[in-house]
Each structure stands twice: as structure tokens, then as C-alpha cells.
Structure 1
């Protein structure tokens, strides 16, 4: 992929705006676990309906990835990001007023989450395109690391600070401010992100559809490894880490929450580390393979150890989620693999697979627990089997990435 060879005058401004957009998305993704109990108490929404409501945003994001990727390549990331941020703002405004709409509250809440999900579909791939187009080749991975680190603050705001706000302020004020925040980020993007013309198709590129992209063996092995990037992190920090700490180590919900917040902070810190490593431009594939293998090893040790001490278990889980940030150099490999004119589609495809793998791995982890328990295995051993299964999935993907070799020369 073609990239500028020297920093553009607006490189720092571009990075600042991209961090703001990314942080807004992280806030939206993290907020479900906080506002869910409030809605259940306020409107009496049952657990199944609440799960549908929280999941609607992610489902809408997944369904919109393909058209978002096409739009990014066709119209350029700056325009598409502005359109989609407008959807996020409208969704937040509707979400703010929905509980007061009586019988229409539930469909309004659902529609709001769908609008937000559709709006977020293009922001992840869009900010990556902006960074790729405006930063030097050697700085792209480093900037992606800063994006994860600084933008991750948005996810932290969507946890405890949001809970405090909902306890002290009316619902409409809190999420009305969310709509204002989305408009503010939209203004930042409009001011600092410079419009870029869509890239022209390269000579080797005769078909730019998703099917054509999947015919590239190099891209396929990147996508295969991409399926185990986000999923292990979210499976541990966003769902099964808490039950594990409670069932095996006896931690209270509050204690588990503090531990999981620490794990989430570990992923944020890892963004800077992997970004700086990638900035050297040396041994990128080795970093990817060693980090992914290290993450699988941490989980394998969790599977092999019989009731590790709490600090040991937390250290192993922290090591795993830290090393999962290999997705930063993997994103650079994706950028270097595909032509610039289809980078939006390729990035959207990677996001589709990586995000789509999250509910699959979360469900599979629970299924392994249920099967082990039904076979008479105790909780501690059931979790060991589940962690071992996750380690095996990562090991299989990284083995495929390590040994498959490129068989065509079109997308180099």
C-alpha cells in the first residue's frame, strides 16, 4: 500500500482527531454493562430483552461493516466518518429521551442502539485509513498504539464514571450529554481531518470486491489470525474473567471488578509498547508470532496449573491480554499487504471477522464450562479446560499464520 514518505503538516492533528473518534466508540461499547441494570430497574426490562438491546449495537456494527468498507474506499474516510458520527449523535439523543416515551420506550431504545451501531461501523476502519494516509510508513504502527492507549480512556469513562453519573443525574441529562459529546467529536473531525481523494486502483488490481480480496492467500492468513485478536481479550475482561475470579478464587463482585479494570488498563498500556516496537520497522512478523504464541502459552499455563494463587492467575491473565495487542503490528501487515484503493474494504473485513469472533468465543467458553460440569467436572477444572481451549484456538491461528506462504504477487 502506498503511504506518504514524510510527515504531513497535519499529522498530529489527524492523530488527535482519530483518538477522539476512537474514544467515543470505546465509550459506547463499554457502557452497556453500566446502563443495563439501570434500565432493568427503571423500565422492568427482562434479562433476555436487555441482552437483545445491548447486543443490537454490536449486531448492527457487524451488519454494516461491508457497506462501510465500500463507502470508505469510494468516498474517503473523512466524509464517511462525519456521516457516521452524525448517526451516533442522533442515536444518543434518541436513547436519552426513549425511557420517557411510555409504550414506545422499548422500540425507541432498540432503534437508538441500532443507529449507534451503524454509526460505529465505519469509525474503526475509518480512523485507520486516516492514519495510513497521513502518517509516514514507520509511524503508522506507533500511531495505532497511541490510538489504542489514549482512545482507551473512553472505555474507562464508560464504566465507573458513567455509573456515578447515572446515580446522581437524570437519564436524559447523562445520555443527552452523550449526544452533545458525539457532536463535539464530529466537530473535531470536521476541523482536523483533511478530506482525501479515494485512491486509484493499482495496475495489478482487476477486481476489488470482497471475494477477490479473499483470494489473496497472504490476506487470508492475516484474517485468520485476526479472528483471535479481540475475542480472547473481550472473553476474559468482558465476560468470563469475573465469574472465574468469583467461582475459583472467591472474589466478591466489587473485588472482581477492580481486578478486571486492572486487566483492561493492561491492554491500554500495551498499546504504547507494541506501537514503539513496531516503530523500529524490524522483525514485525516475529513480534506478531512471538506475542500470539506468548498469549496462548499464558492461557495454557492457566489450564495446566491446579488452582494457581490469585496473584499468579491475575499475572497470567494480564500477560495474555497484554500480548494480545499483537493486533497492532498485524494491522500494519494488513496495510502493507493490500493496495491502497481497497484498504477500507480490507480493514472492514478484518474488523468484521475480529468482532464477529467475540460472541463465538464467549459462547464457546460457556459451552465448554457447561459440558465439563455436566460430565461431573468441578468448577476449577472446568475453567482450566475452557482456558486450554482458548489457548488451542490462538495456537492454531498463529501456526497457520507462521507456515502459510504467499502464493501470488498481486497485493504486495
Structure 2
């Protein structure tokens, strides 16, 4: 970094750019988890069961996952301003389409548009971080981004039910769409090229647009890191984003708002863990040990959460610790940026995030399918009523997925820059 790069005006601008990306990530997180607190409403209004609800919610992930590589390549080639602003607008458009849906198909289309727009949120934020901050601060800034994102998840599971009760889920989605439209306009005017870094960046960039993609997919460590991130993310995508609230309302007899409060402790743990683990990783100058420790801690917590009846206070503690352990998952993104050169970092993170988002594509409908297979036909207020043991059986694969992430850490190399210098 040059002396001019460390001046106060530059720092203020860098933080403003980061905040824009992080707020977008926060916004899309609220959209992502919104079906969890209106699951019964959606099943009743559209006349569907668990598997169809899972497929409806997963439409978000179909778009999100499939667009990770194209968005990563676009960020590397075009830049953040046009991509981020357009992506936020797509999220807003998806909210409006979802709010007016009269069928499962139209609702799925709305979710698909939300996912298409959200595809840029996290990798766009990471791209902005790698361009505006020195490498030694990347892990910390990624952790701060995830921490802010969890505020969106907390809003989604705690406050959205209050909006739904006050104005209905359709008008609430219109409100979210309006907020997205304003954020899109704001980002268009804020995000500009970092001119002092542009000439160096262009000199290093290869001529072929697919060079970064080929480098990423031919690097075995990228796939190890991506699969680790995917398996660690399964509990968040399947449990936190969709089935956690129905599980808690059925197994523990909680209301939606109270169940949402319980799930919010999971995301509070993610917020704290993202910041603490990232900072600790930089201080220890190591990534892999914390990734392994996080996977092991998460495995223990989720097995107890799903399979063992515990008091409410203990459940909240377990959810918080499980979320804290998720901080180890974020290090896979830092490791990707340390494995690939800067000009390929966007598409590398895209490949990683695409793999991670496949967790929602696979496991959200899978849990619903298992519930439907075990369902005895009982209903409550027009929605399927699943037995407690059915929920435990359906969610067990979600808990065990973290065990696979733990095993993968034995195949991941240490990527911290100081470790590379020492070796």
C-alpha cells in the first residue's frame, strides 16, 4: 500500500465502498431466510406440502448457485458498479414478483429473481475488499461482512413475522422490494473504479476471459475448500434459512416469533464467530486449524440440536455456539483469495460460492421430501402437521454433513501468506 492509499480520505472511501457491498449482503440475507417465517402461510395459500415448499424456497439457490461463476467473471472483467447495482435491482424485482404471485410457479419465479440478484452480494463484497484493502486485512473484512449479513438474517427471522402479522406477507415483500430499489440507486452513484490501482490490475489480467475460470477449476485446493464450505453451510441453508422455525414450533411448541428469536441466536453466533475467528486467524497466521476446530464444534452442536430434547435455554446456547463455529467456514473464502492471483480471485470465489450454495439446492427439498415420505396425513389449519420424530429423522443428514467438512480439513493445505514464505 502506498502512503496515499493509507490516508484518511482513502480509508473513508474504502470503508464506504465496503459498507455498500456489506449492506447488500445484509439485504439479500433477509430475503433468503424469509420463507422460514411464512412456511405455514405459503403451504396454506398455495396448497402445497413440505417437498414443494422446499423446492419453492430452493428456487433462490438454483439461480444463486448457477450464476456464481458468470458473476465472478463479470466482476473480474467489468467491475463492481454495474454488476452490483443491477443485481440489487433484480432482488427488488423478485420481491415484487413474489408478492403478487398467484401460483407456485410465479412465486418460484420471484424467488429465482431474488437468487439471481443475490448471486453477486457476497462475492461482490469480497471482490471490493480484495481491491480496496491490503491482503493482511482481507480475512477480518470478510468476517465483518458476514457479521453484517447476519443482521439481515436476524431481521428476517425476528422482525419479519411482525411485519407479516401487521400487513401480511405480500405487502411486506413489496416493502422489501422498495428498499432494494433505493439501495440499487445508491450503489450506482457510490461505486466507482479504484483509479490508482486500475493500471496495475489491467496489466496482470490475462487476455482470455476464461483464463481465471480454467485456473480455478484446475486447482484441486479450490475444490477442497469449496466442498468444505458447502458441507459447513448445509445447516444454515436447510435449518437456519427454512426448516429451523418449523422444527422449533413443532418440537418445542414455540410461536413463530419466539422460534424466530431462537434462530436469531444462531445468526448472532455467526456474527460473533465470523469476526472473532477471522481476527484470530490473522493473529495466529493460520487458516486450517480454525477451520477444523469449527467443523468439529459444529458437528457436536447440530447432532444434539436435532436429536436430543433439551431445555429452551440450552437450545439457545447450542444454536449460538453452532453459529460461532461457522466462523471457520468463512476462512475458505480467504484461503481461495490466497491460493489464486488477484485477477482470478473473483471467479475463484464464484466457483467456491457456487458449490456452497448447492447446499440449499439439495438439502432444502431433501428435508421436505423426507418429511413428506414420513407424513401420516395429519393437518393443522390447512398445513401438513409433521410428527416430532419425523423432523428429527429429516434433519439428521443436515447435522451429519458437518462431519464431512471436518474430514475434508485433512486434505486442505495452509494458505496464510506467512506460512507460504516459511515453506
2:66 paired with 1:63: yes
Contact 2:227 2:356 in 1 (8 A): no
Contact 2:53–2:368 (8 Å) recurs in 1? no
Q: Could you tell me which residue of structure 1 aligns to residue 410 of structure 2?
A: 399
Conservation of the 8 A alpha-carbon contact between 2:58 and 2:361: no
- What corresponds to 1:354 in structure 2? 356
Q: Distance in 1 between matches of 2:393 and 2:90?
A: 43
State the shift of 1:81 in Å: 0.6
Unaligned runs of 5+ in 2: 376-388
Structure 1's 367 and 281: CA in aligned 2 closer, same or farther, altered over 3 A?
Answer: same
2:233 aligned residue (230, 234, 239): 230
Select which of 25, 28, 31 maps to 2:31: 28
Report the TM-score, using the length of structure 2 for normalisation: 0.77
- Give the gaps of 5 or more residues in structure 1: none
Give the aligned partner of residue 114 of structure 2.
116
For 2:268 and 2:80, the matched residues in 1 are separated by 29
1:64 Cα deviation after fit:
1.8
Q: Per-residue displacement from partner, 1:69-125 (whole Å, max 9, x unpaired)?
A: 2211110122211121222222223334x24xxxx6655433332222211112221
Q: 1:129 aligns with which of 109, 127, 130?
A: 127
Q: Distance in 2 between matches of 1:200 and 1:260?
A: 44
The structure-2 alpha-carbon separation of the partners of 1:280 and 1:34, relative to structure 1 and needing over 3 Å to count, comes to same
Deviations along 1:137-193, whole A, 9 cap, x unmatched?
222221222212223222222223222222222666433322221122113322332
1:193 corresponding residue in structure 2: 191
2:382: which partner in 1?
A: none
Paired residue for 1:158? 156
For 1:141, the equivalent position in structure 2 comes to 139
SS of equivalent to 2:193: coil
CA distance in 2, matches of 1:116, 1:131: 23
1:18 aligns with 2:24: no
Q: Distance in 1 between matches of 2:396 and 2:107?
A: 38
Q: Tell me, in whole angstroms, the C-alpha distance in 1 between the residues paired with 2:303 and 2:6.
A: 43
Report the secondary structure of 1:158's partner residue: helix
Pair 259,165 (structure 1): closer, same or farther in 2 beyond 3 Å: closer
CA distance in 2, matches of 1:122, 1:316: 31
Listed as ranges, the matches of 1:213-252 within 5 Å are 213-238=216-241, 241=244, 250-252=252-254
Q: Alignment RMSD, CA only?
A: 3.9
Q: Distance in 1 between matches of 2:125 and 2:88?
A: 12
Q: Give the alignment's TM-score, normalised by structure 1.
A: 0.79
Secondary structure of the residue that 2:176 maps to in structure 1? helix
2:332 alignment counterpart: 330
Secondary structure of the residue that 1:280 maps to in structure 2? helix
* Number of residue equivalences: 391
Q: Does 1:389 align with 2:400?
A: yes
CA distance in 2 between partners of 1:289 and 1:252 (Å): 34
Residues 307 and 380 (structure 1 numbering): CA distance in 2 closer, same or farther, change over 3 Å? farther
- The answer to whether the 8 A contact 2:85-2:184 is kept is yes
